[in-house]
Structure 1
Amino acid sequence: MLQPFRLALALALVSGAAARAEPAQGARVDRKRPVTVASAPAEPLPVVHVAGDTPTLFLFSSPIQRKTLTFDESRIRVLDAGERSIVVQPVANLGDGERQEIGVFFADGRAPARAAFVLVTDPAEVDSRIDVQRPAPPSETCPTDAHAPAPKPEDFVLLGYLDGKGVTTSKIQDRRDDAQGFRTQGAVSFRGKGWVLVDVTIWNTSDKQAWTPREATFTGRVGMPLRARLVTAKKGPIPPGEERRVIAVAEIQESDASFVFALEVRGDDGRRLLIPEVRFPKPAAGGAQ
Protein backbone atom coordinates (compact mmCIF):
# COMPACT_ATOMS: atom_id res chain seq x y z
CA MET A 1 0.00 0.00 0.00
CA LEU A 2 1.33 3.43 -0.96
CA GLN A 3 2.29 5.80 1.80
CA PRO A 4 0.16 9.01 1.95
CA PHE A 5 3.03 11.18 0.64
CA ARG A 6 3.77 8.89 -2.30
CA LEU A 7 0.08 8.64 -3.14
CA ALA A 8 -0.30 12.40 -3.13
CA LEU A 9 2.79 12.77 -5.36
CA ALA A 10 1.48 10.18 -7.83
CA LEU A 11 -1.89 11.88 -8.06
CA ALA A 12 -0.17 15.24 -8.61
CA LEU A 13 1.94 13.84 -11.46
CA VAL A 14 -1.04 12.22 -13.17
CA SER A 15 -3.08 15.40 -12.78
CA GLY A 16 -0.23 17.48 -14.25
CA ALA A 17 0.16 15.14 -17.24
CA ALA A 18 -3.57 15.28 -17.94
CA ALA A 19 -3.53 19.06 -17.79
CA ARG A 20 -0.67 19.18 -20.31
CA ALA A 21 -2.52 16.81 -22.66
CA GLU A 22 -5.58 19.06 -22.84
CA PRO A 23 -5.44 22.06 -25.19
CA ALA A 24 -5.10 25.41 -23.54
CA GLN A 25 -8.36 27.23 -23.05
CA GLY A 26 -9.15 29.27 -26.18
CA ALA A 27 -6.65 27.36 -28.40
CA ARG A 28 -7.85 25.93 -31.72
CA VAL A 29 -8.23 22.19 -32.15
CA ASP A 30 -5.64 20.88 -34.62
CA ARG A 31 -7.20 18.78 -37.41
CA LYS A 32 -5.67 16.44 -40.01
CA ARG A 33 -8.22 15.20 -42.53
CA PRO A 34 -8.83 14.13 -46.14
CA VAL A 35 -10.65 16.49 -48.52
CA THR A 36 -12.05 15.65 -51.97
CA VAL A 37 -11.82 18.37 -54.61
CA ALA A 38 -14.91 19.55 -56.48
CA SER A 39 -15.55 17.48 -59.60
CA ALA A 40 -17.65 20.08 -61.47
CA PRO A 41 -17.79 23.91 -61.62
CA ALA A 42 -21.26 23.94 -60.04
CA GLU A 43 -20.09 22.09 -56.92
CA PRO A 44 -19.13 24.16 -53.86
CA LEU A 45 -15.43 24.33 -53.10
CA PRO A 46 -14.21 22.49 -49.99
CA VAL A 47 -13.60 24.76 -46.99
CA VAL A 48 -10.26 24.63 -45.16
CA HIS A 49 -9.69 26.29 -41.76
CA VAL A 50 -6.46 28.31 -41.53
CA ALA A 51 -4.91 30.48 -38.84
CA GLY A 52 -2.21 33.13 -38.74
CA ASP A 53 -0.10 31.15 -36.28
CA THR A 54 -0.37 27.70 -37.95
CA PRO A 55 0.95 26.54 -41.36
CA THR A 56 -1.44 24.32 -43.32
CA LEU A 57 0.03 21.50 -45.41
CA PHE A 58 -1.81 20.30 -48.53
CA LEU A 59 -0.72 16.82 -49.70
CA PHE A 60 -1.95 15.94 -53.20
CA SER A 61 -2.64 12.45 -54.50
CA SER A 62 -0.97 13.27 -57.85
CA PRO A 63 1.61 15.82 -59.06
CA ILE A 64 0.62 19.48 -59.43
CA GLN A 65 1.81 22.35 -61.62
CA ARG A 66 3.29 24.74 -59.10
CA LYS A 67 3.39 27.67 -61.52
CA THR A 68 -0.40 27.58 -61.80
CA LEU A 69 -0.97 28.41 -58.13
CA THR A 70 -3.44 31.28 -57.70
CA PHE A 71 -4.11 33.12 -54.44
CA ASP A 72 -4.23 36.62 -52.94
CA GLU A 73 -0.63 37.35 -51.97
CA SER A 74 -1.73 40.22 -49.72
CA ARG A 75 -3.67 37.79 -47.51
CA ILE A 76 -2.09 34.35 -48.03
CA ARG A 77 1.56 33.26 -47.99
CA VAL A 78 2.80 30.12 -49.73
CA LEU A 79 5.67 28.94 -47.55
CA ASP A 80 6.65 26.04 -49.78
CA ALA A 81 5.47 24.27 -52.94
CA GLY A 82 6.63 20.88 -54.14
CA GLU A 83 5.67 18.30 -56.72
CA ARG A 84 2.79 17.04 -54.57
CA SER A 85 2.48 19.54 -51.74
CA ILE A 86 2.01 23.17 -50.80
CA VAL A 87 2.29 24.84 -47.39
CA VAL A 88 0.19 27.96 -46.82
CA GLN A 89 -0.42 30.36 -43.97
CA PRO A 90 -2.51 33.52 -43.83
CA VAL A 91 -0.66 36.76 -43.16
CA ALA A 92 -3.08 37.19 -40.26
CA ASN A 93 -6.26 35.49 -39.15
CA LEU A 94 -8.93 36.03 -41.78
CA GLY A 95 -11.77 38.28 -40.68
CA ASP A 96 -15.33 37.24 -39.97
CA GLY A 97 -16.99 36.32 -43.24
CA GLU A 98 -13.70 36.60 -45.21
CA ARG A 99 -13.19 33.77 -47.69
CA GLN A 100 -9.95 33.43 -49.64
CA GLU A 101 -9.65 31.06 -52.59
CA ILE A 102 -6.50 29.14 -53.53
CA GLY A 103 -6.21 26.85 -56.54
CA VAL A 104 -3.72 24.82 -58.55
CA PHE A 105 -3.84 22.61 -61.66
CA PHE A 106 -2.88 18.95 -61.60
CA ALA A 107 -0.03 17.96 -63.91
CA ASP A 108 -1.77 15.06 -65.66
CA GLY A 109 -4.71 17.09 -67.02
CA ARG A 110 -7.22 14.43 -65.94
CA ALA A 111 -10.60 15.69 -64.77
CA PRO A 112 -11.02 17.39 -62.43
CA ALA A 113 -8.03 19.29 -63.77
CA ARG A 114 -7.88 21.87 -60.97
CA ALA A 115 -7.98 21.68 -57.19
CA ALA A 116 -9.43 24.75 -55.47
CA PHE A 117 -10.27 25.49 -51.85
CA VAL A 118 -11.90 28.23 -49.80
CA LEU A 119 -9.78 29.34 -46.84
CA VAL A 120 -11.47 30.70 -43.71
CA THR A 121 -10.46 31.24 -40.09
CA ASP A 122 -12.45 29.39 -37.45
CA PRO A 123 -12.04 30.28 -33.76
CA ALA A 124 -12.30 26.64 -32.68
CA GLU A 125 -10.44 24.63 -35.34
CA VAL A 126 -7.44 24.82 -37.66
CA ASP A 127 -6.43 22.33 -40.38
CA SER A 128 -2.73 21.65 -40.11
CA ARG A 129 -2.80 18.92 -42.76
CA ILE A 130 -5.16 18.31 -45.70
CA ASP A 131 -4.86 15.10 -47.74
CA VAL A 132 -6.21 16.17 -51.13
CA GLN A 133 -8.12 13.49 -52.97
CA ARG A 134 -9.66 13.48 -56.44
CA PRO A 135 -13.07 11.94 -57.06
CA ALA A 136 -13.15 8.51 -58.62
CA PRO A 137 -13.18 8.59 -62.44
CA PRO A 138 -16.60 8.19 -64.03
CA SER A 139 -17.69 4.72 -65.11
CA GLU A 140 -16.91 3.63 -68.64
CA THR A 141 -20.57 4.07 -69.60
CA CYS A 142 -20.33 7.83 -69.01
CA PRO A 143 -18.57 10.17 -71.45
CA THR A 144 -15.13 11.07 -70.12
CA ASP A 145 -15.56 14.76 -70.89
CA ALA A 146 -18.95 15.03 -69.17
CA HIS A 147 -17.32 16.10 -65.91
CA ALA A 148 -14.51 18.21 -67.37
CA PRO A 149 -14.85 21.90 -66.56
CA ALA A 150 -15.14 24.25 -69.51
CA PRO A 151 -11.79 26.00 -70.09
CA LYS A 152 -11.57 29.69 -69.30
CA PRO A 153 -9.29 32.30 -70.93
CA GLU A 154 -7.14 32.57 -67.82
CA ASP A 155 -6.50 28.81 -67.89
CA PHE A 156 -4.38 29.14 -71.03
CA VAL A 157 -2.19 31.76 -69.34
CA LEU A 158 -1.89 29.77 -66.11
CA LEU A 159 -0.94 26.61 -68.00
CA GLY A 160 1.77 28.48 -69.91
CA TYR A 161 0.28 28.26 -73.40
CA LEU A 162 0.18 32.07 -73.71
CA ASP A 163 2.67 34.68 -72.61
CA GLY A 164 3.33 38.37 -73.20
CA LYS A 165 4.24 37.75 -76.83
CA GLY A 166 0.76 36.51 -77.60
CA VAL A 167 -0.12 34.27 -80.54
CA THR A 168 0.79 34.78 -84.19
CA THR A 169 -1.34 33.52 -87.07
CA SER A 170 -0.94 33.03 -90.79
CA LYS A 171 -3.46 32.16 -93.50
CA ILE A 172 -2.84 29.05 -95.60
CA GLN A 173 -3.75 28.88 -99.26
CA ASP A 174 -6.69 26.59 -100.13
CA ARG A 175 -5.67 23.37 -101.86
CA ARG A 176 -7.27 20.86 -104.20
CA ASP A 177 -5.93 17.32 -104.67
CA ASP A 178 -8.15 15.42 -107.10
CA ALA A 179 -5.96 12.32 -107.05
CA GLN A 180 -6.39 11.90 -103.29
CA GLY A 181 -9.91 13.30 -103.32
CA PHE A 182 -9.46 16.27 -100.96
CA ARG A 183 -10.04 20.01 -100.87
CA THR A 184 -9.11 22.35 -98.06
CA GLN A 185 -10.71 25.63 -97.09
CA GLY A 186 -10.05 28.43 -94.61
CA ALA A 187 -6.88 26.95 -93.12
CA VAL A 188 -5.09 29.07 -90.52
CA SER A 189 -1.86 28.39 -88.65
CA PHE A 190 -1.29 29.49 -85.04
CA ARG A 191 1.89 29.72 -83.01
CA GLY A 192 2.04 30.29 -79.27
CA LYS A 193 4.42 29.61 -76.42
CA GLY A 194 5.85 26.16 -77.13
CA TRP A 195 3.18 25.01 -79.60
CA VAL A 196 1.99 25.24 -83.20
CA LEU A 197 -1.48 24.48 -84.55
CA VAL A 198 -3.30 24.28 -87.88
CA ASP A 199 -7.08 24.68 -88.09
CA VAL A 200 -8.41 23.49 -91.44
CA THR A 201 -11.68 22.40 -93.04
CA ILE A 202 -11.21 19.25 -95.15
CA TRP A 203 -13.66 18.30 -97.92
CA ASN A 204 -13.87 14.66 -98.98
CA THR A 205 -14.87 14.68 -102.65
CA SER A 206 -18.06 12.87 -103.66
CA ASP A 207 -16.27 10.34 -105.87
CA LYS A 208 -14.24 8.90 -102.98
CA GLN A 209 -15.10 6.64 -100.07
CA ALA A 210 -15.65 7.86 -96.51
CA TRP A 211 -12.33 8.83 -94.93
CA THR A 212 -11.20 9.14 -91.32
CA PRO A 213 -8.10 11.23 -90.49
CA ARG A 214 -5.91 9.09 -88.24
CA GLU A 215 -2.56 10.83 -87.72
CA ALA A 216 -0.64 13.95 -88.73
CA THR A 217 2.98 15.05 -89.04
CA PHE A 218 4.68 18.43 -89.46
CA THR A 219 7.82 18.08 -91.60
CA GLY A 220 10.28 20.97 -91.83
CA ARG A 221 13.14 21.68 -94.16
CA VAL A 222 15.56 20.74 -91.39
CA GLY A 223 15.26 18.71 -88.22
CA MET A 224 13.09 15.78 -87.27
CA PRO A 225 9.37 15.58 -88.18
CA LEU A 226 6.94 16.58 -85.45
CA ARG A 227 4.17 14.14 -84.59
CA ALA A 228 0.92 16.07 -84.17
CA ARG A 229 -2.27 15.42 -82.23
CA LEU A 230 -5.45 15.38 -84.27
CA VAL A 231 -8.73 16.85 -83.03
CA THR A 232 -11.91 16.76 -85.12
CA ALA A 233 -15.09 18.73 -84.63
CA LYS A 234 -17.09 15.53 -85.03
CA LYS A 235 -16.17 11.90 -84.46
CA GLY A 236 -16.22 9.32 -87.20
CA PRO A 237 -15.34 9.33 -90.92
CA ILE A 238 -15.94 12.18 -93.36
CA PRO A 239 -18.64 10.94 -95.77
CA PRO A 240 -18.23 11.50 -99.53
CA GLY A 241 -19.13 15.04 -100.52
CA GLU A 242 -18.99 16.36 -96.94
CA GLU A 243 -16.57 18.42 -94.86
CA ARG A 244 -15.02 18.22 -91.43
CA ARG A 245 -13.08 20.72 -89.32
CA VAL A 246 -9.72 19.22 -88.32
CA ILE A 247 -7.09 20.61 -85.96
CA ALA A 248 -3.46 19.43 -85.83
CA VAL A 249 -1.29 20.60 -82.92
CA ALA A 250 2.29 19.86 -81.89
CA GLU A 251 4.75 21.01 -79.23
CA ILE A 252 7.90 22.81 -80.36
CA GLN A 253 11.14 23.96 -78.78
CA GLU A 254 11.34 27.62 -77.84
CA SER A 255 12.99 29.61 -80.65
CA ASP A 256 12.87 33.06 -82.18
CA ALA A 257 13.01 31.66 -85.70
CA SER A 258 10.06 31.42 -88.04
CA PHE A 259 9.05 27.91 -89.09
CA VAL A 260 7.84 26.59 -92.44
CA PHE A 261 6.38 23.09 -92.43
CA ALA A 262 4.49 20.71 -94.66
CA LEU A 263 1.48 19.23 -92.87
CA GLU A 264 0.59 15.66 -93.81
CA VAL A 265 -2.67 14.11 -92.58
CA ARG A 266 -2.97 10.34 -93.12
CA GLY A 267 -6.06 8.21 -92.90
CA ASP A 268 -7.96 5.24 -94.26
CA ASP A 269 -6.94 3.27 -97.39
CA GLY A 270 -3.56 4.97 -97.56
CA ARG A 271 -5.11 8.30 -98.59
CA ARG A 272 -3.28 11.36 -97.35
CA LEU A 273 -3.68 15.10 -97.46
CA LEU A 274 -0.53 17.18 -97.94
CA ILE A 275 -0.51 20.92 -97.22
CA PRO A 276 2.88 22.45 -98.10
CA GLU A 277 4.23 25.85 -97.06
CA VAL A 278 2.53 26.08 -93.68
CA ARG A 279 4.11 29.12 -92.05
CA PHE A 280 4.41 29.75 -88.32
CA PRO A 281 5.70 33.31 -87.79
CA LYS A 282 7.85 33.95 -84.74
CA PRO A 283 6.02 35.06 -81.59
CA ALA A 284 5.42 38.78 -81.42
CA ALA A 285 2.73 40.97 -79.94
CA GLY A 286 0.27 41.77 -82.66
CA GLY A 287 -2.32 40.28 -84.96
CA ALA A 288 -2.26 38.07 -88.03
CA GLN A 289 0.80 38.00 -90.24
Structure 2
Amino acid sequence: MHHSVSAVLLFLLLSGEGAALAQSPSSTVGLSVRRIELVSDDTQPAVEVAVSPGLSTVFLFDSEVSREGLMIEGRERFVMVDAGLNTLRLVPSEKISAGERLKLTVRFQDGSAPASATFVLVAHPARSEALVEVYRRKRGVETYQEEVRQARIEAEQCRQENERLRAERSAPNGLTGLISTDVLSERGVDFRDATKDVTQAPGGAAAKNRAYAYRTARRVAVVVTLKSGGDTQPWTAVGATLRGKANEELKVLQVWQSGPVAFGSTGQRVVVEAEAVSESPQGPFTLKLWDADGRRTVTLGNVTFP
Protein backbone atom coordinates (compact mmCIF):
# COMPACT_ATOMS: atom_id res chain seq x y z
CA MET A 1 0.00 0.00 0.00
CA HIS A 2 1.47 3.39 -1.02
CA HIS A 3 0.68 6.58 0.85
CA SER A 4 2.02 9.80 -0.65
CA VAL A 5 1.69 11.77 2.61
CA SER A 6 3.56 9.09 4.53
CA ALA A 7 6.20 8.97 1.83
CA VAL A 8 6.81 12.70 2.13
CA LEU A 9 7.15 12.30 5.90
CA LEU A 10 9.73 9.57 5.42
CA PHE A 11 11.67 11.67 2.90
CA LEU A 12 11.88 14.53 5.37
CA LEU A 13 12.98 12.27 8.20
CA LEU A 14 15.60 10.34 6.26
CA SER A 15 17.05 13.45 4.63
CA GLY A 16 17.42 15.08 8.06
CA GLU A 17 15.49 18.25 7.25
CA GLY A 18 13.66 20.31 9.85
CA ALA A 19 14.97 18.53 12.90
CA ALA A 20 17.49 18.85 15.65
CA LEU A 21 19.06 16.03 17.65
CA ALA A 22 19.96 13.93 14.61
CA GLN A 23 22.14 11.19 16.03
CA SER A 24 23.92 8.07 14.88
CA PRO A 25 23.65 4.86 16.85
CA SER A 26 26.41 3.95 19.24
CA SER A 27 29.22 1.73 18.07
CA THR A 28 28.64 -1.95 17.60
CA VAL A 29 30.02 -4.18 20.34
CA GLY A 30 31.38 -7.65 19.88
CA LEU A 31 30.50 -8.62 16.31
CA SER A 32 33.84 -10.48 15.85
CA VAL A 33 35.91 -12.83 17.99
CA ARG A 34 37.61 -11.19 20.97
CA ARG A 35 41.08 -12.55 21.78
CA ILE A 36 42.69 -12.02 25.16
CA GLU A 37 46.25 -13.02 26.06
CA LEU A 38 47.03 -13.45 29.74
CA VAL A 39 50.40 -12.59 31.26
CA SER A 40 52.19 -14.81 33.76
CA ASP A 41 52.30 -12.27 36.61
CA ASP A 42 49.69 -10.36 38.59
CA THR A 43 50.07 -7.04 36.77
CA GLN A 44 47.34 -7.63 34.20
CA PRO A 45 44.19 -5.62 35.00
CA ALA A 46 40.74 -7.16 34.77
CA VAL A 47 39.49 -7.19 31.17
CA GLU A 48 36.04 -5.75 30.43
CA VAL A 49 33.63 -7.94 28.43
CA ALA A 50 30.22 -6.75 27.21
CA VAL A 51 27.17 -8.90 28.04
CA SER A 52 23.47 -8.36 27.39
CA PRO A 53 20.16 -9.86 28.60
CA GLY A 54 19.14 -12.95 26.64
CA LEU A 55 22.34 -13.09 24.56
CA SER A 56 25.09 -15.67 24.96
CA THR A 57 28.69 -14.83 25.72
CA VAL A 58 31.02 -17.81 25.41
CA PHE A 59 34.55 -17.91 26.83
CA LEU A 60 36.91 -20.40 25.19
CA PHE A 61 40.09 -21.18 27.19
CA ASP A 62 43.22 -22.91 25.92
CA SER A 63 43.73 -24.47 29.39
CA GLU A 64 41.35 -26.52 31.50
CA VAL A 65 39.48 -24.51 34.12
CA SER A 66 38.13 -25.57 37.50
CA ARG A 67 34.36 -25.62 37.85
CA GLU A 68 34.76 -25.36 41.61
CA GLY A 69 37.04 -22.33 41.25
CA LEU A 70 34.53 -20.33 39.18
CA MET A 71 33.36 -17.18 40.97
CA ILE A 72 30.80 -14.80 39.48
CA GLU A 73 29.15 -11.84 41.14
CA GLY A 74 25.38 -11.60 40.89
CA ARG A 75 24.87 -15.26 39.94
CA GLU A 76 21.11 -14.74 40.27
CA ARG A 77 21.24 -12.27 37.36
CA PHE A 78 22.06 -15.05 34.89
CA VAL A 79 19.66 -17.58 33.41
CA MET A 80 22.61 -19.75 32.37
CA VAL A 81 26.12 -20.28 33.72
CA ASP A 82 27.37 -23.39 31.94
CA ALA A 83 31.00 -24.27 32.73
CA GLY A 84 32.93 -26.94 30.86
CA LEU A 85 36.57 -27.97 30.97
CA ASN A 86 37.57 -25.34 28.40
CA THR A 87 34.41 -23.30 27.95
CA LEU A 88 32.10 -21.03 29.90
CA ARG A 89 28.74 -19.88 28.54
CA LEU A 90 26.91 -17.00 30.18
CA VAL A 91 23.39 -15.76 29.42
CA PRO A 92 22.27 -12.79 31.54
CA SER A 93 18.61 -12.42 32.48
CA GLU A 94 16.48 -9.30 32.38
CA LYS A 95 17.44 -8.77 36.03
CA ILE A 96 20.80 -7.36 34.98
CA SER A 97 20.84 -3.58 34.68
CA ALA A 98 22.54 -1.66 31.87
CA GLY A 99 25.92 -0.40 33.01
CA GLU A 100 26.12 -2.93 35.84
CA ARG A 101 29.63 -4.34 36.37
CA LEU A 102 30.06 -7.86 37.71
CA LYS A 103 33.37 -9.57 38.44
CA LEU A 104 34.09 -13.00 36.96
CA THR A 105 37.07 -15.06 38.14
CA VAL A 106 38.16 -18.42 36.70
CA ARG A 107 40.91 -20.67 38.06
CA PHE A 108 43.01 -23.03 35.99
CA GLN A 109 43.58 -26.66 36.99
CA ASP A 110 47.27 -27.24 36.20
CA GLY A 111 48.70 -24.82 38.77
CA SER A 112 50.85 -22.96 36.23
CA ALA A 113 51.00 -19.17 36.10
CA PRO A 114 48.77 -17.33 35.86
CA ALA A 115 46.69 -19.47 38.19
CA SER A 116 43.53 -17.47 37.55
CA ALA A 117 42.00 -14.80 35.32
CA THR A 118 39.59 -12.02 36.24
CA PHE A 119 37.11 -10.29 33.93
CA VAL A 120 34.58 -7.52 34.46
CA LEU A 121 31.22 -8.24 32.82
CA VAL A 122 29.70 -4.92 31.71
CA ALA A 123 25.96 -5.05 30.99
CA HIS A 124 24.71 -3.39 27.80
CA PRO A 125 21.01 -3.17 26.92
CA ALA A 126 21.35 -4.85 23.52
CA ARG A 127 24.96 -5.72 22.65
CA SER A 128 27.22 -8.52 23.79
CA GLU A 129 30.53 -10.10 22.87
CA ALA A 130 29.54 -13.50 21.53
CA LEU A 131 32.91 -15.28 21.64
CA VAL A 132 35.92 -14.50 23.81
CA GLU A 133 39.06 -16.62 23.30
CA VAL A 134 41.40 -16.57 26.30
CA TYR A 135 45.03 -17.59 25.71
CA ARG A 136 47.22 -18.53 28.65
CA ARG A 137 49.98 -20.06 26.59
CA LYS A 138 51.70 -18.61 23.55
CA ARG A 139 49.29 -18.36 20.65
CA GLY A 140 49.85 -20.31 17.48
CA VAL A 141 50.57 -18.66 14.16
CA GLU A 142 47.17 -19.66 12.80
CA THR A 143 45.34 -17.55 15.41
CA TYR A 144 47.31 -14.46 14.40
CA GLN A 145 46.59 -15.20 10.75
CA GLU A 146 42.87 -15.44 11.51
CA GLU A 147 43.04 -12.18 13.44
CA VAL A 148 44.70 -10.48 10.46
CA ARG A 149 42.02 -11.91 8.15
CA GLN A 150 39.25 -10.55 10.37
CA ALA A 151 40.97 -7.18 10.56
CA ARG A 152 41.09 -7.04 6.76
CA ILE A 153 37.39 -7.89 6.53
CA GLU A 154 36.52 -5.18 9.07
CA ALA A 155 38.74 -2.68 7.25
CA GLU A 156 36.98 -3.47 3.97
CA GLN A 157 33.60 -3.04 5.65
CA CYS A 158 34.73 0.34 6.99
CA ARG A 159 35.94 1.33 3.53
CA GLN A 160 32.59 0.42 1.97
CA GLU A 161 30.72 2.26 4.72
CA ASN A 162 32.92 5.30 4.19
CA GLU A 163 32.20 5.24 0.45
CA ARG A 164 28.47 4.98 1.14
CA LEU A 165 28.56 7.92 3.53
CA ARG A 166 30.58 10.02 1.06
CA ALA A 167 28.14 9.21 -1.74
CA GLU A 168 25.15 10.17 0.42
CA ARG A 169 26.85 13.34 1.64
CA SER A 170 27.58 14.46 -1.93
CA ALA A 171 24.05 13.63 -3.07
CA PRO A 172 21.35 16.34 -3.14
CA ASN A 173 18.84 16.58 -0.31
CA GLY A 174 15.26 15.38 -0.19
CA LEU A 175 13.54 13.20 -2.76
CA THR A 176 16.26 13.81 -5.39
CA GLY A 177 18.90 12.47 -3.03
CA LEU A 178 16.90 9.31 -2.31
CA ILE A 179 16.53 8.65 -6.02
CA SER A 180 20.17 9.43 -6.85
CA THR A 181 21.49 7.01 -4.21
CA ASP A 182 19.04 4.25 -5.26
CA VAL A 183 17.41 4.22 -1.83
CA LEU A 184 14.13 4.80 -3.64
CA SER A 185 13.17 2.66 -6.64
CA GLU A 186 10.23 2.79 -9.02
CA ARG A 187 8.19 0.98 -6.37
CA GLY A 188 8.28 4.02 -4.11
CA VAL A 189 7.65 3.65 -0.38
CA ASP A 190 5.60 0.87 1.21
CA PHE A 191 3.92 1.94 4.43
CA ARG A 192 1.82 0.36 7.15
CA ASP A 193 0.33 1.59 10.38
CA ALA A 194 1.76 -0.82 12.97
CA THR A 195 0.34 0.86 16.06
CA LYS A 196 -2.08 -1.94 16.96
CA ASP A 197 0.46 -4.71 16.33
CA VAL A 198 3.51 -3.34 18.11
CA THR A 199 3.73 -4.30 21.78
CA GLN A 200 5.76 -2.70 24.54
CA ALA A 201 7.66 -4.39 27.33
CA PRO A 202 6.87 -3.07 30.82
CA GLY A 203 9.18 -0.70 32.63
CA GLY A 204 10.19 1.40 29.62
CA ALA A 205 11.63 4.90 29.89
CA ALA A 206 8.82 6.21 27.63
CA ALA A 207 5.42 5.00 26.46
CA LYS A 208 4.51 4.12 22.88
CA ASN A 209 1.75 6.19 21.31
CA ARG A 210 1.92 5.45 17.57
CA ALA A 211 4.12 3.21 15.40
CA TYR A 212 4.61 3.16 11.62
CA ALA A 213 6.76 0.95 9.40
CA TYR A 214 8.25 1.84 6.01
CA ARG A 215 10.17 0.00 3.32
CA THR A 216 12.01 1.27 0.24
CA ALA A 217 14.27 -0.54 -2.21
CA ARG A 218 17.25 -0.53 0.16
CA ARG A 219 16.00 0.70 3.53
CA VAL A 220 13.43 0.06 6.21
CA ALA A 221 12.40 2.51 8.90
CA VAL A 222 10.35 2.41 12.09
CA VAL A 223 8.76 5.66 13.23
CA VAL A 224 7.57 5.56 16.82
CA THR A 225 5.83 8.38 18.64
CA LEU A 226 6.76 8.24 22.31
CA LYS A 227 5.30 10.11 25.25
CA SER A 228 6.44 10.38 28.84
CA GLY A 229 5.85 7.34 30.99
CA GLY A 230 5.92 9.41 34.16
CA ASP A 231 9.71 9.71 34.45
CA THR A 232 10.72 13.23 35.45
CA GLN A 233 14.06 12.99 33.63
CA PRO A 234 14.05 13.82 29.87
CA TRP A 235 14.89 10.87 27.64
CA THR A 236 16.56 10.76 24.21
CA ALA A 237 17.39 7.61 22.23
CA VAL A 238 20.98 7.40 21.01
CA GLY A 239 21.16 3.75 19.95
CA ALA A 240 18.93 0.96 18.68
CA THR A 241 18.81 -2.66 17.57
CA LEU A 242 16.29 -4.48 15.38
CA ARG A 243 16.56 -8.19 16.18
CA GLY A 244 14.53 -11.09 14.79
CA LYS A 245 13.32 -14.27 16.48
CA ALA A 246 16.48 -16.16 15.52
CA ASN A 247 18.65 -13.33 16.87
CA GLU A 248 19.35 -12.10 13.36
CA GLU A 249 19.96 -8.38 13.40
CA LEU A 250 19.33 -5.67 10.83
CA LYS A 251 22.12 -3.15 10.37
CA VAL A 252 20.89 0.09 11.94
CA LEU A 253 22.11 3.11 9.98
CA GLN A 254 20.64 5.99 11.92
CA VAL A 255 18.63 6.90 14.99
CA TRP A 256 16.83 10.26 14.91
CA GLN A 257 14.61 11.86 17.54
CA SER A 258 12.59 15.04 17.15
CA GLY A 259 13.27 16.12 20.75
CA PRO A 260 13.64 14.77 24.30
CA VAL A 261 10.68 12.89 25.77
CA ALA A 262 9.89 14.89 28.89
CA PHE A 263 7.20 14.84 31.55
CA GLY A 264 4.23 17.02 30.57
CA SER A 265 5.40 17.52 26.97
CA THR A 266 3.80 16.33 23.76
CA GLY A 267 4.94 13.13 22.08
CA GLN A 268 8.26 12.96 20.23
CA ARG A 269 9.05 10.95 17.11
CA VAL A 270 11.92 8.46 17.02
CA VAL A 271 13.05 7.14 13.64
CA VAL A 272 15.21 4.03 13.34
CA GLU A 273 16.54 3.44 9.84
CA ALA A 274 18.15 0.15 8.81
CA GLU A 275 19.44 -1.60 5.73
CA ALA A 276 16.97 -3.83 3.92
CA VAL A 277 18.40 -6.55 1.72
CA SER A 278 16.06 -8.26 -0.71
CA GLU A 279 16.06 -11.54 1.21
CA SER A 280 15.48 -9.93 4.62
CA PRO A 281 12.24 -11.10 6.28
CA GLN A 282 9.36 -8.80 7.08
CA GLY A 283 9.64 -9.69 10.75
CA PRO A 284 8.59 -9.73 13.44
CA PHE A 285 11.50 -7.86 14.98
CA THR A 286 12.14 -6.55 18.47
CA LEU A 287 13.18 -2.91 18.56
CA LYS A 288 15.25 -1.84 21.54
CA LEU A 289 16.15 1.81 22.13
CA TRP A 290 18.53 3.14 24.77
CA ASP A 291 19.76 6.50 26.00
CA ALA A 292 23.30 7.83 26.42
CA ASP A 293 24.14 5.86 29.56
CA GLY A 294 22.19 2.76 28.48
CA ARG A 295 20.27 2.53 31.74
CA ARG A 296 16.83 3.64 30.54
CA THR A 297 15.49 1.70 27.58
CA VAL A 298 12.35 1.23 25.49
CA THR A 299 11.63 -2.24 24.08
CA LEU A 300 8.97 -2.77 21.41
CA GLY A 301 7.99 -6.18 20.06
CA ASN A 302 6.21 -7.52 16.97
CA VAL A 303 7.61 -4.88 14.60
CA THR A 304 6.87 -5.95 11.01
CA PHE A 305 7.58 -4.24 7.71
CA PRO A 306 5.47 -4.05 4.54
Normalising TM by the smaller chain, what interval? 0.3 to 0.5
TM-score of the two chains, using structure 1 as the length reference: 0.42
Of Structure 1 and Structure 2, which has the larger fraction of its residues in strand?
1
TM-score of the two chains, using structure 2 as the length reference: 0.40
By relative contact order (CA 8 Å, sep 6+), the higher-ranking structure is 2
